[in-house]
Structure 1
């Protein structure tokens, strides 16, 4: 049996599972169940599931139009994501690696900009969204791949993503003798480099 680690780009996984589950958010149990589906039980033994995602942004900022003070920690998005990540981190055989979200100001939503251009209506408070940038997720995946591969802890790494930023980690793992399997959940815009540097592209059905 091949000892296998499953690495989930959780932002991508949550987005894809949302559609697969009929437009509802996945639970921690469903995320673990999906990760187990990525394993081929006839030849692979699960070592651990690694989940990579930014903790939700919870600071207070001033809205650029309404000047209202917005406490992001009180929003349903923050509360729901915080609960999910806490539950996931307590799930058996799951290791959660937290990145960070940086607040880079406010942007006008694409749909609002198109509507304003078409109709000439004035700006509204709901036209704005926080500009949040993800940090350190790529680095943490790279560090885990380096540790798993260089110490020969696992024989295979299953990476669930469509982000080509993880190609350097894939290349390193393969150079160290680990097989890298890519699961894309039938994403239509998978970068060519991801396919090139995977030993196998695996199809996983869920639910």
Structure 2
């Protein structure tokens, strides 16, 4: 059997929540090795991690600067791993129809990722159209990624979803993927990061 090449796409905003919910910091290389093992005769082509720098007000607060420093350290560590790429978008404050800032119960603004789904879509389309991979493994739960999945499938790429069963997974995303596997506590424990310095979760 021919060894198929696999690209792994990780929505890090989603994956950070999974790690925080289970209180298990993950070694990203180990995690990728574990989920690759779930597919037969596969080798990892590359892992793409999609994330946004934390929001910074003008001027930034001490807490915001601390979060930005954590994000920079995370990105620094990830891009030095073998066959890993980091794609960054931006966080945008959400407003109502009148332009008022929407806030959480604690008074902090509601933020939404921008540009992440576009970056993932471009990567998926390019890898699929140029036949560089035969499978995409997606770690995500957002329906924004559905167009990218459908485009990759049109090129004959198999799309496998790894989702957190205790969290929200949009039905359209679940249905669009060819295969689905839960991110279990056991899987996270197998991938647990043993040192504090390597590929930290990043900002909260």
TM-score, normalised via structure 2 length:
0.78
Q: Secondary structure at the match of 1:4?
A: strand
Unaligned runs of 5+ in 1: 62-69, 111-126
Which residue of 1 is the match for residue 125 of structure 2?
146
Match of 1:37 among 29, 34, 48: 34
* 2:197 aligned partner: none
1:102 and 2:97 correspond: no
Shift of 1:106: 5.2
Question: In the alignment, what sits opposite 2:69?
Answer: 79
Larger radius of gyration: 1
State the superposition RMSD in angstroms.
2.2
Choose between structure 1 and 2: higher strand proportion: 1
How far did residue 59 of structure 1 move? 4.1
SS of residue in 2 equivalent to 1:92: coil
Q: Which runs of 4+ in 1 moved over 4 A?
A: 103-108
Q: What secondary structure is seen at the aligned counterpart in 2 of 1:195?
A: helix
Matched, 1:192 2:171: yes
Mapped to 2, the partners of 1:48 and 1:100 lie a distance apart of: 23
Aligned residue runs from structure 1 range 53-64, under 5 A: 53-61=51-59
* Secondary structure class of the residue paired with 1:128: coil
Unaligned 5+ runs, structure 2: 95-99, 190-204
Cα distance 1:74–1:19, how it changes in 2: closer, same or farther (>3 A)? closer
**Structure 2 partner of 1:67:** none
On the 8 A contact 1:99/1:134 being kept in 2, the answer is: yes
Contact 1:59 1:72 in 2 (8 A): no
